[in-house]
Structure 1
């Protein structure tokens, strides 16, 4: 068991730096200041925060994120961008969420337990209420999951909920759910914590007009592509937020987010470049928070086609990479080296394997053995993600020292991920935080829908099923280590680094958790942040 309104825009010259850079759209009639953007200090209640660094109540925090334009929505099941996820986290709750090590932590689920065969899980909900005062019930949970699983809708969490037989699952009490699974699933808590698996009221409608959730903030206003304002929900089960309000402001360009932060127009700026962080860190103008291990950086080799269908070629490429040079050059040093495995620092990570180092002599020998002494390959890349084009150029130069000719091919930002999923032979690749089990199930099984390395091995699939059928965590971890040893030796992911995600704040902001990878529980936890 695990215990687990619409208001007028301000005058355009009020924030000239934002207008110059296209920070806000000039159409529509949405709010940018329910309480006035100039007075963000708020009216602290005097009961906390006496200058000793303890939390202080009151104020509005303005947070700048890259957004999705006029098509944005507050429907939490459609969340895709970081801005979507941060807004959804403020308004809604999930049954569980991921801690810094990507293990599942209880949220709306107070506890969970499985039967002996791991194909039925009983979940008990904590006492929590929606923003309209109604209790969160088992019926709301089942409605939410069935909505996500609707075959006519493209909801992000649909694949994650696939193990659940929702027709057979049922409410066994107002706050008790029995989930019936299609197969043994030892990591079922990861399903409850899946990205986008939010709980909404059974009769929920009109998410963009007045969404009702059970999260720490309740809805005030929303202007797609511009801003959203949420107010503290005093009756939240995890305690009322310190802030009176949080405002999410859309600023697609990193320069606009930085200028807004430096100009005092926002207090929090998400997703800054490493060069920006290096230029401002320790200078007193802004505080830099580095979210470690937030994104895996890799080259993806297609294991089902020449030349990478020969494991000796894959092993040679592992040895060609100078990982520190890639981290320093492609990530501007904002990260740490990888060891050809996903999930460094996460639950079940095989950290006992020796760190792979560059060995050009051994790489050349392996290529000769494989009959690929004069190998030429195309490396697909794109400006779709930070560091991709830089990493491609650095690796091209590293490969040349081993006698390999790498031709870098630039792809479209709009179609890159679909182009490289099944096409090409070698590409730049990135992944955000997720449990190691989820990475395996979504990307490394024969029937995985995003199997970019085309890794398909029946015996590997069998090991995954064995792990999911193993109740004892220590024994299960041993199976995952066995799978990772094989991937380290002959897999298709050349994982060269793990990038920091960089947040900038003013020096008034307190409570931002530095050890939370993006998309985990403590990332964008505005209910735990306060203004000094």
Structure 2
């Protein structure tokens, strides 16, 4: 299993012994051809992982259900512990095998043939091609597809060739990046149990762990899946999640020794934890924080006004005020790991107060707007900084406190004038990002209600979907990013970083680029 060491912030006095304990620093070398073949991975020999023990984690999010098609941060804390996907991504979005040992895209780019490894679900049922077929059928049903609908939108059907081979047919020629994005996000669920009702309270996966017991809102206990395909993992005897309604209580339990670690603890606790715990940055690819202006509402119905307002934002100040040394500023929606990331775009959207002031004076019919300030981490603080940046160039941004539900309704109805919120974006393909309604080329784009997206943006999105060769994809990525910048209804701010706090005994900590915890390779140096 790929477990490239995450960014770890360790006090100087503890750094030497901490680094000496990092295990699973590399996976078995994998040769990925166009077919993507490889075998099972093994931990590196930087120190043999210790078998046994119970890992107890504090979590500030409440689990929604055990349905991996419901891809939310709440469920990502357990999804990869309970389920295997077709492939994994490395931190730089390179594909590696999970349940799929081989995948071959047809020469006409209209299908992919996937070979599955021998594996079993937690109840002993073998994993077969029929489970993939059933999952694809669910992803194509808008009533029950949930978050799989968008990333699987290019798929027409799936057919079992034999027990461990499945062919997935596309609606049109589709490039490899988009196919890989789907394979990365596609969880293989036992066919007979793959429906939202069945998965509300029970899991049906083939991941390294299975559910032993669950008390909603209180505690979840996982134990090893005896049918997991890697006989060396998991190392732990048990994983216990304890759910907390407040961060203070969770951090207090960590400091008292009741927990071995915390998941998504707020960065404001860093100062009090840094001398006693490993502070680990979550994936820099998972989310980018974005700032939006509504192009259908004055004064942002003038593209020059939109561009001028964006030039007023000091991204570096926003980032450092919210996340300190964690994260990186971005000019658009793509993280630095994405093939579509283009640092040169800062020349068009980077901070320039003089240009912003001149542009606002010349192009904005009014110089006032309202932004909802929601409880989402970093939003209120970020908007306050942007408010000051805009005030310095003659634009009055008013902030209105708003709960998440009210904001979601405002956004869905296309009535948000300004907004700041993150988008999940560990994608290789531009077309995968466009499954997000804020980037859609269709009528459901909630920033272009009543007007439709600009023609050049739609053309750029079509080009990204049609691109097949590496050169075509590279050109399409550049064209898509340019169209986003030219139309300027959004701009990137920074990569949003979550935080884990772990005791020194916890080693092998890993997570996917989408921030799904991968606990199969985690072990304890003391029990």
TM > 0.5 between the two?
yes
Q: In the alignment, which residue of structure 1 is the partner of 2:408?
A: 417
Number of equivalent positions: 473
Q: In angstroms, what is the RMSD of aligned CA positions?
A: 2.6
> How far did 1:369 drift?
2.8
Q: Hey, what does 1:39 align to over in structure 2? A: none
2:345 aligned counterpart, secondary structure = coil
Residues 34-45 of structure 1: pairs in structure 2 closer than 5 A: none
Task: Note the alpha carbon deviations across 1:91-135, whole angstroms, 9 max, x for none.
Answer: 111112333234543321222222233222211112222223332
1:241 equivalent to 2:238? Answer: no
Relative to structure 1, is the Cα distance of residues 401 and 208 closer, same or farther in structure 2, using a 3 angstrom cutoff?
closer
The match for 2:221 is: 229
Contact 1:96 1:193 in 2 (8 A): yes
| TM-score normalised by the chain length of structure 2 | 0.83
Residue-by-residue CA offset, 1:203-232 (whole Å, 9 max, x unaligned):
227546653421111221122222221212
| Contact map agreement 2:456 2:483 (CA 8 A) in 1 | no
CA contact (8 A) 2:334 2:425 kept: no
Please report how far the alpha carbon of residue 334 of structure 1 lies from its aligned counterpart in structure 2 after TM superposition.
3.7
Map of 1:67-86 to 2, 5 A cutoff?
67-68=61-62, 72-82=64-74, 84-86=75-77
Return closer, same or farther for 1:151/1:464 CA change in 2, 3 Å cut-off: closer
Is this contact kept in 2: 1:341–1:488, CA < 8 A? no
Rounded to whole Å, the distance in 2 between the matches of 1:53 and 1:188 is 37
The aligned residue for residue 390 of structure 2 is 399
CA displacement at 1:264 relative to structure 2:
1.4
CA offset digits 1:65-89 (Å, max 9, x no partner): 23337xx42233335333x222221
CA spacing shift, 1:526–1:277, aligned 2, 3 Å? same
Q: Structure 1 unaligned runs (5+)?
A: 5-47
Deviations 1:394-438 (A, max 9, x none): 111111110111111222222322312411221112123331522
CA 57–175 in structure 1, closer or farther in 2 if over 3 Å, else same: same
Q: Is the 8 A contact 1:254 1:271 kept in 2?
A: no
The alpha-carbon distance between structure 1 residues 303 and 222, as it changes in their structure 2 partners (threshold 3 A), is same
Q: Per-residue deviation at 1:272?
A: 1.5
What's the CA shift string for 1:155-181, capped at 9, x where partnerless? 221232222223xx3111111111121
Matched residue, 2:361:
368
Q: Please state if 1:183 is matched with 2:172.
A: yes
Partner of 2:16: none
Distance of 1:471 and 1:424 partners within structure 2:
36
- Per mean C-alpha deviation after superposition, the further-off stretch among 346-355 and 113-122 is 346-355
The one of 163, 169, 172 equivalent to 2:161 is 172
Match of 2:117 in 1: 126
Could you say if the C-alpha distance between residues 461 and 357 of structure 1 is closer, same or farther in structure 2, counting changes exceeding 3 Å? Answer: closer
TM-score, L = length of structure 1: 0.82
1:316 matched to 2:308 = yes
Quick one: distance in 1 between partners of 2:513 and 2:249? 21
Partner of residue 444, structure 1? 439
Q: Which runs of 4+ in 1 moved over 6 A?
A: none
Distance 1:311 1:207, change over 3 A: closer
SS of aligned partner of 2:514: coil
SS in 2 for 1:427: strand
Contact 2:309 2:360 in 1 (8 A): no
Shift of the alpha carbon at 1:479?
Answer: 1.3
Judge which range, 492-501 or 334-343, deviates more.
Answer: 334-343
Counterparts of 2:88 and 2:283, CA distance in 1 = 18
2:474 aligned residue (468, 472, 477): 477
Q: How far apart in 1 are the matches of 2:96 and 2:135?
A: 19
Alpha-carbon distance, 1:392 to partner:
1.4
Partner residue in 1 for 2:48: 54
Give 1:243 shift: 0.9
SS at match of 1:386: coil
Following TM superposition, by how much is the alpha carbon of 1:453 offset from its aligned partner in structure 2, in angstroms?
6.4
Q: Which runs of 5+ in 2 are unaligned?
A: 1-33, 38-42
Instruction: Give the 3 Å change call, closer, same or farther, for CA 368–211 of structure 1 in structure 2.
Output: closer
Of residues 325, 334, 339, the one that matches 2:331 is 339
* Residue deviations 1:134-159 (CA, integer Å, cap 9, x gap): 32111111112223433433622123
Quote the Cα distance in structure 2 between the aligned partners of 1:306 and 1:117. 46
* 2:254 aligned partner: 261
